[in-house]
Structure 1
Amino acid sequence: MTENILHPWKQETIIRHTQRLLLSYKYWTGKSLLDTDGTPELIAQALWEAPFIVFSHGMESDPIYNYGNRKALDLWEVDWEQLTQMPSRYSAEPMEQEERVRVLNEVTSNGYISNVGGVRVSRSGKRIRVSNFTIWNLLDENQQKCGQAATFNEWEYIQ
């Protein structure tokens, strides 16, 4: 495996994306997603190794994941390459798709939403009940929307 797959947080684009994730979260919620100092690379590593889930997708018509930290990859049962080629809708069960779209539209309009829950599915089909999602719009360096991100730290596998 290449270094980019094993340690994606070392890529310049991911270091920059990490900054967008953290700054956008702070902008919308007024809170820090990650309390750490250091160089942008050390901060990117800290988010990669965080004990909670963080992932994001871009703005394609069928958005593709463009980031997931180690916990997210483990939960979805994918590696970096698989995640970054996967439409984000695949993480929600078919019966949850309509609600997922509604929530993402609300985030688009309002900037962020908290305390969202639902059932998601891993790549192998394991069902996961997620609680206390926070979803927010990602902003680039010019304050233009460039995607959406989510975080949570409560989940359980269900039958």
Structure 2
Amino acid sequence: MWYHTPTTLGNVHRAIVSFHHYFNQTLVPFTARPSKNELLKVADTVYALPFIFLTHTGTPTGGHDPIYNFGNEKALSVFGRTPAELLQFPSRLSAGPDERTRREDFMREVAVKGCVKDYDCIRVKKDGSPLKMWDGYVWNVRDESGEIVGQAAMFKKWQDQ
């Protein structure tokens, strides 16, 4: 699978550990110091989740332009992108032109607060059509030292507009 690289496996694991840290919920079982097989199992489980799960590099503070570094099968399908397309796609462009300022302000808020639950938004699919998403969780992804290395989002509900 395309996401079975050491970097991506680490990104997914950090997102899952960070989700547990911020929401005190276990999205998928994980261990603090996983073996490679455990990393593969976590990534495979996240890839197969029945809802949208995405992560991107950095935060939109300090001049960063975050790029997606993981999207599960549901996210790829709903947004109509291949893994190769997603991994080159700046996450800010997931919002239409009219929604980008709102999205950037929100992501900055997450960077400061750490997490937000019950988020809803309008995003744009590859074909340009709008997508309403709700029942969302958005959180900072932290590395083992506690430094913010990215952000993640999960949406349990969505509908084409």
Return the offset for 1:44. 0.9
Between 1:30-39 and 1:74-83, the stretch displaced more is 30-39
Alignment partner of 1:30 is 2:24: yes
In 1, Cα distance between the equivalents of 2:108 and 2:38?
A: 34
Secondary structure of residue in 1 paired with 2:141: strand
Q: Distance in 2 between matches of 1:13 and 1:147?
A: 13
Q: Deviations over 1:28-54 (max 9, x none)?
A: 111112257872211111111111111
Q: TM-score, normalised by structure 2?
A: 0.89
Whether the 8 Å CA contact 1:64–1:86 is kept in 2: the answer is yes
Runs of 4+ more than 6 Å apart: none
Consecutive unaligned residues in structure 1, runs of 5 or more: 1-6
**Percent identity (aligned):** 30
Unaligned runs of 5+ in 2: 32-36
Q: Which structure has greater helix proportion? A: 1
Query: In structure 2, how many angstroms separate the alpha carbons of the residues matched to 1:8 and 1:45?
Result: 11
Query: What whole-Å deviation, never above 9, does each CA across 1:69-104 have from its counterpart, x for those lacking one?
Result: 111111111111100100001111111112111211
Which residue does 2:12 correspond to in 1?
18
What is the Cα-based RMSD across aligned positions, in Å? 1.6
Whether 1:103 aligns to 2:106 is yes
Deviates more, 1:98-107 or 1:78-87: 98-107
Question: Which whole-Å CA distance do the structure 2 matches of 1:133 and 1:103 have between them?
Answer: 13
Calculate the TM-score normalised by the size of structure 1: 0.90
Equivalence for 1:117: 120
Measure, in 2, the Cα distance between the counterparts of 1:8 and 1:46: 14
